[in-house]
Homo-oligomer: A and B are copies of this chain.
Amino acid sequence: MNAARPSNVAHVILGFLSTKEDTPKSGYDIKQLIDKSVCFFFAASYGQIYPELKKLTAAGLVEGTDEATGGRARTTYKITESGRATLRSWLLEDENRVEMRDQGLLRILFADTLSPAERVEKLRQLRGQRVADLAEVEAIEIGPEGDGLLMPELLIDYGVGMHRYEIDWCDRAIARLEKDADA
């Protein structure tokens, strides 16, 4: 019976359910929160969120309330004391795994097999995409829920700085390639 160790997504859900007010939230609400705040370093799809909410309910970490209207289902969830404890011990763990899969950098790595002009073009393309990503992060607004919280602000700062670094690196790399092409 013993339930599997809660996944990453489980903890994100618990985190978003443990705000000051503890406003009950639906799966849809949680997905929106993720997409509008942490999407630049963590993603989750409905296909993970809804099943996970059921598992968390079964484990007693959240409690659902049925708020169906007519033929349309709707369940909102709030965190339990047990859920809060689980979240807390997860927060204190010291293993902070980072997983990354960056297709753009991969293509740059093998770009030695392309022509000099194509290489530079790839880098420009990558730069353009990162500029767009930066704009998205800059557009994130901390809603009323996060009011007074420091962490969301710090993390947006992180994301902005990170994307700026990537853009600068692209510029340097392009300059370097162009110098080589001249020589």
Q: How far is the CB of A181 from chain B (nearest CB, A)?
A: 11
Main secondary structure of the interface of A (DSSP, over half): helix
Those of A95-116 within 8 Å (CB) of chain B: 95-114
A151 touches B109 (CB 8 A): yes
Given contacts A109-B15, A110-B18, A176-B154, contact A98 B102 (CB under 8 A): yes
How far is it, in angstroms, between the C-alpha of A74 and the C-alpha of B24 when the chains are bound?
57
Q: How many copies of the shown chain assemble into the complex?
A: 2
A106 touches B161 (CB 8 A): no
How far is it, in angstroms, between the C-alpha of A96 and the C-alpha of B154 when the chains are bound?
27
Those of A127-171 within 8 Å (CB) of chain B: 129, 133, 149-152, 154-155, 157-158, 161-162, 165-166, 169
Q: Does A88 reach chain B (CB closer than 8 Å)?
A: yes
Q: How far is the CB of A92 from chain B (nearest CB, A)?
A: 7
B15 touches A110 (CB 8 A): yes
Given contacts A88-B113, A125-B94, A173-B154, contact A15 B106 (CB under 8 A): yes
